[in-house]
Each structure stands twice: as C-alpha cells, then as structure tokens.
Amino acid sequence: MRLGIWTPLPHTIMSEPAMADGVRQVGVRGDYSADKSFQFALDVVSKGEALGFDITLIAERLLGPDLEAWMLTAALAARTKTIQIMPAIYPGMITPQLAAKMGSTLDRITGGRFAINVVNGWFQKEFELFSNGGWIASSDARYDRMDEFVRVLKGLWTQDHFTFNGEFFRTADATLPQKPVRLPHPPIYTASRTDSGKDVIAEHCDLWFVNYQADYRRFEEGFAIIRRDVSDLAQRAKEFGRTLSFGMSAHISCADTMAEAQARADELERYGQRDRVSSTAARGLGACLVGTPDLIAKRMRQYEEIGVELFLLNFHPMLTGLDTFAKHVMPLLPPIGAGAGARLVKSA
C-alpha cells in the first residue's frame, strides 16, 4: 500500500484559515512578504513526507487564485527530499514537447522524484483563456488529443530520434537532450470518468485513479463498481501487453464516532454544492472513507485487495486531519514504504 497526499490549493480543499490567508494575499500587488499559500502547501507536503507518504499531487487550476502547478512543483521539489512530486497538466494548454522538456528537467533535479498527472480538463472558459482558444467540445476528440499528447511525451522521453505526425501534434526526427532519470520514463498517472479514454489509459498510462459516485453513504455499491472497473482496465491493459496500476483519490473524515465523522462529511458535502470548482474538494467523499479509524482502515484494506495500491488523500482541516490519520489509522494499515512507485513503469 502506498500513501499520497494532495498538495492543498484553493480549489482542492474546503476553505480553512491558512488557505484563506493565502488567497487574500495573492490578490494584493506589492506584498513582498513570504507567500502564505506556498508555506501552507510546504507544511502539508513536508509532514506527509516525514510520515512516509510516497507522492503528492499538485493539481492545476489556472483560472483561480491557485499558485501555478508546475512552478509550485519546482519550489516544493527544492524543499523536499524523498516524496515524489506530481504536477497535473492539460493536453492542449501546452505542447507535449514542452511538457517533456520540463518533466525531464524536474526528473533530473529531483533525482527521479518526478511524475505527471495527465488530465483532459472540463473548464471551457479556462481553456479559452490559457490555451488561446484551444477548447474542444467533444470528449472523444479531447481523448484523441490526450492520446497523441502521451505518445509524444513518451516518445521524446524514451527515443533519441522521434518522429510523429498526428492530428494535434507533430515532431520530425526530434531529440530531447535532457534524458529523464526514471526508466523507461517518469510514471504517467491519469483519471477518466468516461469510457472514451479508457483504451488510451490502458495502452499508454501507468496508473489510473478509479472513478466513483460522490456519495459516502454507498460503500457496498461503490465498491462493486470499482472492482468491476479495475478488472476491466486491467484486462484492457493486458490486451496491450501491459500491466496497469490503480489508485484512489479520497477525502478522509475520521473521528471517534460515526456520527461525528458523518457530520464533518456532511459539512464538506454542502460546501461542494456551491459550484463545480468547490465540488473538487468534496468529490473525494465518494471513496467512503468516512467513519472511525477501524472502519477507514478496514475499507482501505478492502480496496487494496481488489488492486488499489495508492491512496491519494485529502483532509479537513488538512494538517489536523493528517495528524489524526497518522496517529489513529496508519497503525492499522499494512506497512507503508516510499519508493514502491518504481513498480509503475516496469511494463510501460
């Protein structure tokens, strides 16, 4: 079992004082004091690293007060030693050629601690602004673009001379001088809520974050769906001659009693109903890791038994929740060890 943690950003967690202070600060011109958003992110990631967490995800939300994911990744990489740093990226926002260059650079300066989370995105207004009008309405077409994006990314990372002529991206005898440290390449994580992208994931990606409904009250139903989806994606990967790993993004609501844990989950659920951006923080409740330490540990072990090896966790409040999880849940889990993620790229 591997543990990961979300780097706290305004759109990924329920608002709390440390984040609210950071959001206010980033909107002020001429404030030369230490950036509070960065310090909060560093505090959480550093604590996760000290506890043996294997990886952190830095999600990308360009249209908002969030610090930019790849810049934040570089800053966190310089202040950490063992935890893998995984920024998100939207195909179409930047080219895979540039992503390959930036990724191999980060992989080298971190000694192989770089991974990438490729996500198609849903925010049309964000795409129109930051990709200079590169929004594609068709989900199938966006996955076609993602397919080409990952092909070019992997080609540049693994081949000395790479040529590709696609609908969205093209290279001619391209060479990337900066070779990544990880072999055969840095691991590629992704998530998909639609069927149209699953073959792309099975053929090209290394870990898929399972999908579920955002309702913490439906564990048995959700567990059956996840088990079916894991089996389906594993079979699709097998048909491509590959082995796919599986992860779960989850919000942990842990308390001494079920009633208290559910009350906190209900609060987050209401927060997530404000708008679609806020729903990102609340959606992790669908992993159904709400309850007492014994129940949470039991369900995590059940997920592990059906193939989920990585749990990417969120808490509220972040640091207090992380402390509670470390003290009361982690002792009930199988051994946790950094470095297990190297398994991800053996069959890529």
Rounded CA gap, 95 and 153, in Å? 9
> Taking the model in full, what pTM does it have?
0.93
What is the C-alpha radius of gyration for the chain, rounded to an integer number of angstroms? Answer: 19
Domain that holds residue 337: 2-345
Residue 346: band (very low, low, confident or very high) from pLDDT cuts 50, 70, 90: very low
Q: Considering its fold, how many domains does the chain have in total?
A: 1
> Mind listing the pLDDT tens digit for each residue in 168-226?
999 999 999 999 999 999 999 998 777 778 888 999 999 999 999 889 999 999 999 99
Confidence of residue 341 (pLDDT cuts 50, 70, 90): very low
Give pLDDT, residue 342.
Answer: 43
Widest Cα–Cα separation across the chain: 61
What's the whole-number average pLDDT of the chain?
Answer: 92
Closest CA to 62 of 17, 141, 147, 119: 119
pLDDT in tens, 3-40: 999 999 998 999 999 999 999 999 999 989 999 999 99
Euclidean distance between CA atoms 66 and 102, whole angstroms: 20
Residue 133 DSSP SS3: coil
Q: Rounded to a whole number, what is the distance in angstroms from the first to the last CA of the chain? A: 21
Tens digits of residue pLDDT in 123-141:
899 999 999 888 998 988 9
pLDDT value for 340: 45
| From 119-128, 269-278, 331-340, the region with the lowest mean pLDDT | 331-340
Q: What CATH number has the domain bearing residue 256?
A: 3.20.20.30
Predicted local distance difference test score (pLDDT) of residue 337 = 63
User: Tens digit of pLDDT for each residue in 145-176?
Assistant: 999 999 999 999 999 999 999 999 999 999 99
pLDDT of residue 317: 96
pLDDT at 103 over 60: yes
**Residue 339's pLDDT band (boundaries 50, 70, 90)?**
very low
- Is 95's pLDDT higher than 50? yes
Whether the Cβ atoms of residue 187 and residue 344 lie closer than 8 Å to each other? yes
Query: Can you name the residues that pair with 85 across neighbouring β-strands?
Result: 56, 114
Q: Which residues is 247 bridged to in the sheet?
A: 209, 310
